[in-house]
Structure 1
Amino acid sequence: MTSSTIRRRVAVVAEKVRLHGNEEEHEQTNNWCNRDLIPLPPKRRSWGWFNYFGYWAISSLNISNWQSPNTYLAQGLSVPQSMMVIVLGRLLITLFSSLVAWCGLKWHIGFTIQNRFSWGLRGSYIPLLQRVLLNFIWTAVQCWNGGRLMAVCLTALWPSFATMHNFLPKSMQETTTAYQFVGFILFWVLSTPFLLIRPEKFKLPFQVVCIYCGVGMVCMMIWALAVAKGVGPLWHTGETVPATSHFNVSWLIMSGINQMVGSIAAGITNGSDFSRYSRSWQHYIGGSTMSALVVGTLVSFIGLVTTSAAQTIYGEVYWNPPDLLMVMMDNGHGSSKARAGVFFLSLGFCLTAMFENVCGNAVAGGIDLAGMFPRYIDIRRGAILTFLAAWIVQPWQLVNKATTFVNVLSSFSVFLAPLIGIMVVDFYLVRRLKIRLSHLYRSHDSIYWFTSGFNWRAVPAWLCGWAPTVGGLAYAARGATDGPKALYKLYYMAFLLGFFISSIIFYTLSSVFPPVGLGEFDETDVYGTFTPEEAAKIGVVTTMGLVEAIHSGEDDGLGLQSELDKTCGMKGEVNTL
């Protein structure tokens, strides 16, 4: 077979795999654009306030949020102090997520495109690579955690499942059991079909799952309080900071807030990926604020009350819901009532983990991969690739063995906070909320090409944002307590410190060396992005508006016809690197 024949066949395969969009809907596919990356047109913006309430509720109705008080109690804080950390952390999460999401609400673009005007078209791959890596690993870890809940469901149906023969090879028996591995496989398989649903169609799953799991959590708390006849001793835990501790209560509270915000930093970073689906900014702000703040705080409160009451019932503290559910079933002597209750409760947790993983990790990973390979990957293909990567990551090795690595991942906000700082200060202060959309999707004569595709101002701002805190991360990740006290203090402020350092440096560099095109925006609606009301508010003329003006004889030498021709030409152009 000649080389020319091979090249020809490869070209045929590449053409078949390549994505094709509807040109009439501005869905051209090239090196910078495809259907899932263009500014969303009004007909695809279908999320209302309850959809955002459900989206944030699913990210709150999970095991890690249930266990949050345990983290702070273990550090020596009292119950009131722990709850104060949770409330303050939730307030900051709501604030930062709204700041990042506003770009998607105003211009209807996601995180992938949003970084292009801050980092440059090629430079945007730097934050994208970080996000892709995180999405691969967290999707795998969440599949494993969801598999544990699936195993509880199966045990409730068939009690003998928990004692099944460990058929795994010896190399795997050190890190997992057949019981856990089967739960992981089933969770992964049942989650996969939901990857085929486009984000604008996620409304019903959000509604069903958040109501189901929310009611289940409340029922679990009521049952525990009724059986224990009170809250239990854990509720009355006071301040227990050891006298030998290097840090006082104030620093422990600061550390807790940093952990709280940092744990959801990845979700804050890509807020515009989902805010762009909103029918209006009121729907996003109302639904997300109510859910992220209220539901997030209530889940931690319910977890604390339930765990405290369960301590009275069983004599031990069970923070992990799968462990508590198994104990509930064992103490019910495997009766049909106990098994039925455990099945429906564990199913609620399991469904929440499933949709949180699909939407927050797999779909987010799909969007990021689409930004890197827009000719061949859309959200659906990217989400499937992200889910397949779970088998390469092998989460049973990470969760059960490599605890240091998981701790590092949990602290990855050290690197994400500076990204958020750059995004926020560039959009609000440097560009004054004005973006030229058409220049985000082409390399030639684009104001966002900067220098060879990189905005050099973003690189030092990002590096300086995490440099002071990475030393503390290195000590904290391996559990060391003998490091310099100053490094730990810097690490305890990592999110806020990284955010403000990068913000200030980026703003300073952009003021001293202003990039071209500040304050510019397309005067015509190139992609059919805006409703007439939005266009009028921004000062953008829709294509239909140009046509109507020309037909009504309003041209009068103003060049409206040439503007229309220019807009139509921009819609169909093919951009190259």
Structure 2
Amino acid sequence: MISLRKRLARANQFVKLKGDESRHEQTDAWSNRDLIPLPPERRTWGWFHFFGFWAISSLNISNWQTPGTFLTQGLSVRQAMLIIVVGRLLISLFSTLIAWAGLKWHIGFTVQNRYTWGMRASYIPLLQRILLNFIWNAVQCWNGGRLVAVCITCIWPSFARIKNTFGPDIPTTTYEFVGFVVFWFLSTPFLWLRPEKFKIPFQIVTIWCGLGMLSWMIWALAVAKGVGPLWSTGQQIPGGSPWGASWLIMAGINQQVGGLAAGITNGSDFSRYARGRKHYIIGTILSCMVTGVLVCFVGLVTAAAAQKIYGEVYWNPPDLLMVMMDYGNGSSKARAGVFFLSAGFAFTAMFENICGNAVAGGIDLAGLFPRYIDIRRGAIITFVAAWIVQPWQLINRATTFIQVLSSFAVFLAPIMGMMACDYYLLRKRKIRLSHLYRTHDTNYWFWHGVNWRALPAWICGWAPTIGGLVVTVKLDPNPPRALVQLYYMAFLIGFFISAIVFYVLNLFFPVPDMDEFDEVDVYGTFTPREAERVGVVPLEYADSTDARRGLGRESTAEQVVVHDNGKKL
């Protein structure tokens, strides 16, 4: 028995994360190296990192297909592009708004929620994000596998005719499953890459896929000698449709912003890596507006030109690529061109999944088990979970479930509204960093670790729109009009209702000392210039005891008296 206990203790010490205490990388129930405020030497992201970060969410199949979604509803090309431009403007706005705490205080979403929800209740938004990371990682692996299957077919055309070895009870084919397996294994080595080192993959993805898309459009226009009738599509809303153009446009804008709600919500997970605020702002706005809109435009033009070549509209890139190869009679030139394009899409899907789902999932899991999980271990767990989730079941059978996941912004928008209200209006952009990593003597413990004000505020945000989500997913032929209208504005409704309710609750039931912050840079987080701007004393100039305790209320560096080797400064 004693021997077993010793073995378990040794195993625990082996698995437990280690941190450099001299760099304040303490490992305990609330903290580890990847959760503490990032020190300057780990903040390596410049403007191109953020340009690439948002570019990989644009240089993909779903964004390419976006205009087709609105055209099939009966909207015109101009109306579809209007939705895309307005949606991208709102994405730029909200992504900057929510990520600002990470830019100033260098903490991520996992820790950021502790001062809004309370230390224990912060698990509520955290668990939602973990669920989404697990499922979307699996779905992205499956979609990426389809592109890999096209690449394999380009090399060995006979692969497209491979015998299906799965039985009728399994909703997939050997062709699709092999692509998934290859994509999953090719992605795995990138899980060991820490976010600080993402620049080279971002460069490869942006250049390869960006040039590939432009080349595809130019080739299609040259071969077709123009565009097909799709390009001149006017408004064609069916006469019996209960919705006019204005409501369809509103729903489209909501869909645009809601589709990236998961990435906006945890924006501070990545904004904390910024070398400076201007890098995040320039890279994010430039990528969201230019790349996001341009990819939709290129997809629309390519589909319109391909319509003139092949006589049909192909919105799904893998389908169009296979048609191109067939019409090229499998020649080496056709296969080489299709391989270049499909490989670019596949590599983009790969790194979008690693960055947006696996790494983000790793950060969230680190918040649940800080003693044992860091970003790398969490990313590996998230990636392995793809086999448990079984995306072939979700994609090919449970289309309703995927639609629910796509509409999860109904629950995420209220979380963002509370985050913005708390940070900007209630706390006036001030946070006590030292109080975010302990349960005693902290402003963020509230009532047994729960800020009860957050729960009703969050529920009030999604309660008006959940009914519209239900009737939409059920494909109710005659849904209550009011429910659907609320659902078409779900993101904005959820964001502002939760923000207002949270503000009112704090007005009537105020929390003391909300605008406090540490007088001393407890974690060595800030450069001297940042410390001066924030109003804290750099750690090396402060008394060590006061620094560790993080004593004091709101003040500026000039108001604090500190000592260095007994000398008054």
TM-score by length of 1: 0.94
Residues 216-241 of structure 1, C-alpha deviation per residue, up to 9 Å, x if partnerless?
A: 00000000011111121101111111
Q: How far did residue 518 of structure 1 move?
A: 1.1
Instruction: Quote the residue 1:80 is aligned against.
Output: 78
Do the aligned residues in 1 keep the contact of 2:541 with 2:564 (CA within 8 Å)? no
Amino acid at match of 1:160: S
The DSSP-based 3-state class of the residue aligned with 1:171 is coil
Instruction: Quote the residue 1:327 is aligned against.
Output: 323
Instruction: Quote the residue 1:64 is aligned against.
Output: 62
Which of 392, 400, 404 aligns to 2:400? It is 404
1:168-247 equivalences in 2 (<5 Å): 168-172=166-170, 175-247=171-243
Residues 118-164 of structure 1, C-alpha deviation per residue, up to 9 Å, x if partnerless?
A: 00110100000000000000000000000000000000010001111
User: What is the root-mean-square deviation of aligned Cα atoms in Å?
Assistant: 1.6
Which of 503, 523, 528 aligns to 1:507? It is 503
CA distance in 2, matches of 1:481, 1:462: 30
Which of 156, 164, 167 aligns to 2:165? It is 167
How many residues are treated as equivalent by the alignment? 553
The reply to whether residue 491 of structure 1 matches residue 484 of structure 2 is no
Instruction: Quote the residue 2:51 is aligned against.
Output: 53
The reply to whether residue 135 of structure 1 matches residue 137 of structure 2 is no
CA distance in 2, matches of 1:153, 1:369: 34
Q: How far did residue 515 of structure 1 move?
A: 1.1
The DSSP-based 3-state class of the residue aligned with 1:382 is helix
The reply to whether residue 121 of structure 1 matches residue 123 of structure 2 is no
CA distance in 2, matches of 1:241, 1:218: 31
Amino acid at match of 2:445: W
Instruction: Quote the residue 1:560 is aligned against.
Output: 562
Instruction: Quote the residue 1:536 is aligned against.
Output: 532
Amino acid at match of 1:86: I
Residues 478-508 of structure 1, C-alpha deviation per residue, up to 9 Å, x if partnerless?
A: 2223110100000000000000000000011
Q: How far did residue 247 of structure 1 move?
A: 1.2
Instruction: Quote the residue 2:149 is aligned against.
Output: 151
Residues 451-471 of structure 1, C-alpha deviation per residue, up to 9 Å, x if partnerless?
A: 000111110000000001000
The reply to whether residue 481 of structure 1 matches residue 481 of structure 2 is no
Which of 250, 262, 266 aligns to 1:254? It is 250
Residues 428-455 of structure 1, C-alpha deviation per residue, up to 9 Å, x if partnerless?
A: 0010000000000001011000000011
Q: How far did residue 294 of structure 1 move?
A: 1.1
Instruction: Quote the residue 2:439 is aligned against.
Output: 443
Do the aligned residues in 1 keep the contact of 2:519 with 2:560 (CA within 8 Å)? no
The DSSP-based 3-state class of the residue aligned with 1:60 is coil
The reply to whether residue 318 of structure 1 matches residue 320 of structure 2 is no
Using the aligned pairs only, state the percent identity.
67
The DSSP-based 3-state class of the residue aligned with 1:428 is helix
The DSSP-based 3-state class of the residue aligned with 1:540 is coil
Instruction: Quote the residue 1:304 is aligned against.
Output: 300
CA distance in 2, matches of 1:204, 1:116: 33
Which of 357, 364, 384 aligns to 1:368? It is 364
Which of 379, 387, 405 aligns to 2:375? It is 379
CA distance in 2, matches of 1:341, 1:100: 41
The reply to whether residue 432 of structure 1 matches residue 434 of structure 2 is no
Classify 1:5/1:171 alpha carbon distance in 2 versus 1 (closer, same or farther; 3 Å).
Answer: farther
The reply to whether residue 337 of structure 1 matches residue 301 of structure 2 is no
CA distance in 2, matches of 1:24, 1:428: 33
Residues 269-308 of structure 1, C-alpha deviation per residue, up to 9 Å, x if partnerless?
A: 0000000000000000001100011110000000000001
CA distance in 1, matches of 2:531, 2:562: 17
The reply to whether residue 101 of structure 1 matches residue 103 of structure 2 is no
Amino acid at match of 2:180: F
Q: Which runs of 4+ in 1 moved over 6 A?
A: none
Amino acid at match of 1:21: G
Q: How far did residue 12 of structure 1 move?
A: 2.4
Amino acid at match of 1:319: W
Instruction: Quote the residue 2:347 is aligned against.
Output: 351
Classify 1:157/1:246 alpha carbon distance in 2 versus 1 (closer, same or farther; 3 Å).
Answer: same
Q: How far did residue 558 of structure 1 move?
A: 7.8
Q: How far did residue 15 of structure 1 move?
A: 1.7
Do the aligned residues in 1 keep the contact of 2:541 with 2:562 (CA within 8 Å)? no
TM-score by length of 2: 0.95
Instruction: Quote the residue 2:542 is aligned against.
Output: 546
Do the aligned residues in 1 keep the contact of 2:358 with 2:383 (CA within 8 Å)? yes
Amino acid at match of 1:231: V
Which of 262, 269, 286 aligns to 2:265? It is 269
The DSSP-based 3-state class of the residue aligned with 1:468 is helix
Classify 1:290/1:160 alpha carbon distance in 2 versus 1 (closer, same or farther; 3 Å).
Answer: same
